[in-house]
Amino acid sequence: MKNTAEQFAATNKANLQALQGFTAQAFSGLEKLVELNLAASKAVMEESFGHAQAVLSAKDAKELLALQTGLVKPMADKSTAYAQHVQAILTGSTADFTKAVEAKAAEAQKAFTGALDNLTKNAPAGSESAVAAFKNALTASQTALETAQVQAKKAMETAQTSFNAAATQAADAIKKATTV
């Protein structure tokens, strides 16, 4: 029994370390998004002041109209580039996180199965039916977990595809609007 308790303790410690790693990964992705947003905000602010100064120094309405018209296309291009950066960060973070979770889940399942096998070997005589019921319940829960993981992965893929399509449509619409 002591060996099984040690296995469960080691598994819990490994799971806590994995959680710490997952959290660090999530914060890394968030950090990248914050850095991108700060850089984009700074650039927009600088460009806005530069544009405002140019507008204030315009000599006539024709020059003012040209300045205003000339602002639209670069803004559209930068918006598209920003969306692509966000998409790249989210895609990379999600893929890394998913791989790490899947690997850890497989490792944890293997460790838990080993501990359960050890526990069943040391079970008292006459408890075979209870052990079999417990194993069946665990197998059912593992199957449900695997099904949920597959569905979550499909949902992420569908969301990613939808995001890509929306970004492409938005970029196309902006290009059409600025070429008219």
* 84: Cβ contacts below 8 Å, ≥ 6 apart: 167
Q: Provide the CB-side half-sphere exposure for 62 (13 A, CA).
A: 0
Residue environment code for 65-75, b if the CB has 16+ CB neighbours within 10 A, otherwise e: eeeeeeeeeee
**pLDDT, tens digit, 9 for 90 and up, residues 70-93:** 887 788 788 878 888 888 888 887
**Surface-to-core class of residue 150, CB atoms within 10 Å of its CB (0-12 exposed, 13-18 middle, 19+ buried):** exposed
Q: Which helix (H) or strand (E) holds 48?
A: helix 2-56
- The domain tally of the chain equals 1
Give residue for tokens 């650039």.
43
Q: Supply the range of the domain harboring residue 47.
A: 2-179
Specify the pLDDT at position 6: 78
Angle between helices 128-179 and 61-121 in degrees, nearest 10: 170
Contact 14, 115 (CB under 8 A): no
What pLDDT, in 10s, does the model give residues 163-172?
777 777 777 7
Q: Mean pLDDT, the chain, as a whole number?
A: 79
Residue 44 has pLDDT above 70, yes or no: yes
Q: Is the pLDDT of residue 1 over 50?
A: no
Q: In terms of pTM, does the model score above 0.85? A: no
Q: What is the mean pLDDT of residues 40-55?
A: 90
